[in-house]
Amino acid sequence: MVRVEKTLDRVLRGTADASVAFADLCALLRHFGFDERVRGSHHIFTRVDVLEILNLQPRGGQAKPYQVKQVRGVIISYRLAGDVDEPDNDAADGETPDEATPEG
């Protein structure tokens, strides 16, 4: 699980697209519920609620940078990673919205 989280972080940051391991990128997509079909060197990823079909091929042991960018676009467009950066404001103060409002 830690490896998937590290790969997700690298993909979302977008600073090292050329150095993402192909196996890690495939594992990330499987983690997000994509089905994988392999035809030769082509790994084709589909998911029922995602319109795009991701067709990935390795270059050596690495993913191709433009394919990492495509994966990033799908993750962001469909909010597959959730809203990781946004804090949960209601849970932060420990009060429910009804308790936080003064009665008048």
Per-residue pLDDT of the chain (104 residues; tens, 9 = 90+): 799 999 999 999 999 999 999 999 999 999 999 999 999 999 999 999 999 999 999 999 999 999 999 999 999 999 999 865 533 444 444 444 444 445 54
Contact between residue 71 and residue 25 where contact means Cβ atoms under 8 Å apart: yes
Structural domains in the chain, CATH included, are 2-81 (3.30.920.30)
Contact between residue 54 and residue 74 where contact means Cβ atoms under 8 Å apart: yes
Model pTM above 0.85: no
Residues 64 and 5: their CA atoms lie apart, in Å, by: 20
